[in-house]
Each structure stands twice: as structure tokens, then as C-alpha cells.
Amino acid sequence: ALVALATTVVLIALLSADYHSLIGRKMRYFPTYRCPGVWTPQEVEDLGKQCTSVATERGGAFERNANGQITTARYNCLQLMKQKGGNAFALVVKPGEADNECRAMTCDVALEDHPPAGPDAAWDQDLEVWSMRCPLQKVARNIVGTHLMEWNWTFIGEECTNRLGPEGWNYVQVSPP
């Protein structure tokens, strides 16, 4: 019992020392948001009129992961943006292609307002724009959704038809897809 008490005291002391070393340290936070809307390649090219490109990279770091998602590609593109001192990035991820692209940019002004995607637009687009300077006042639209995990398709259809649709829910996310 004495050994357990001594171990606990030492562990608390180590955790306290680590906690206190964080106090006063400047934490780096990069609030980067997905800019609303469905973007076209030409619109991303037009961002060059508002922004300065700081880096463009292609390849495996921006491919879909083993589950077919682009979360790793988004993360890697965000890291490229931060490393190069940018505040926005465009990510082009094409299904089944290895020549995906991340373009990190610095934008001195807020990005122009962009028409929003419809409520049924997929979250994963072939082209996404993320920025610290998105026009966020247009994003908050009281969208309400739910996540149905491990439901079979018959029950999902019934739930959407009989409950979620009539009640005005905007979207349903299903896992696994």
C-alpha cells in the first residue's frame, strides 16, 4: 500500500510539473474553416486574384485513405499551409487518381462570398477550399442533422420517410456508408 501511495504521489507531481510548464506558453491555434459552396477549378484559379500562392504540392500525401475518405489529405494540406505561413488552401482530390493537389495560399482579404451547396451536397467534394478568412456569416443557417450508426437500409428509409423528413431535418449521416 505504501508503494502504491508513493507511486501515486510521484505521478501527481510529474503531471503537475508538466501542467505548470504549459502555463504561460503560447499555444498555436489555426482556426481554419471550410469555405461554403461547391467550387469549380476556374473559381480556384480566380483565387489567384485575391490570394498569393505559397506552395503547391501533388502526390500520395493528398490521396484518399484506406477507407476512401479524404481526411488525411485535408490534414496534410492543412499542415502544408501552416508550414508555408499561409492562411488558406485548396484541395483537389479526384476519385481513383494519384495526381491530387494541395495549393497553400496567403489571402490578405476575406474570400469573396460563394454560393452555398445545397443541403443534399456531399461533404467530400473533388475540390475544397479551406481558409481562416471564409465569409462565415453565411455558414450559420440553423442546419439540423443526425447520425445513424449501424442501421440497416430498410430502417434508414423508414426513419427518413416517417420521421426525419416530416420533422424538417436537413441531413442524415450514415455510418458505415
pLDDT 10s digit of each residue in the chain, 177 long? Answer: 666 666 665 556 555 555 556 566 666 677 888 887 778 888 888 887 788 999 999 988 888 888 777 888 889 999 999 999 999 999 988 766 667 899 999 988 777 766 666 666 655 677 888 888 876 554 455 577 888 888 888 988 898 888 888 877 788 888 876
- Separation between Cα atoms, residue 116 and residue 112, nearest integer Å: 12
Neighbours of 44 (CB within 10 A): 19
The length of the chain, given as a count of residues: 177
Confidence (pLDDT) at 144: 75
- Secondary structure, 3-state, 78-101: HHHHHHCCCCEEEEECCCCCCCCE
Phi and psi dihedrals of 135, rounded to 5?
-75, 85
What cell was used for 112? 469573396
DSSP H stretches of helix in 84-144: none
Q: What does pTM read for this prediction?
A: 0.60
Q: Evaluate whether 105 touches 132 at the Cβ level (below 8 Å).
A: no
DSSP H/E element including 110: none
**Strand 171-175 relative to strand 145-149, pairing:** parallel
Q: Are 144 and 168 in contact (CB under 8 A)?
A: yes
Mean pLDDT, the chain, integer:
77
The domains of the chain are located at 33-138, 145-175
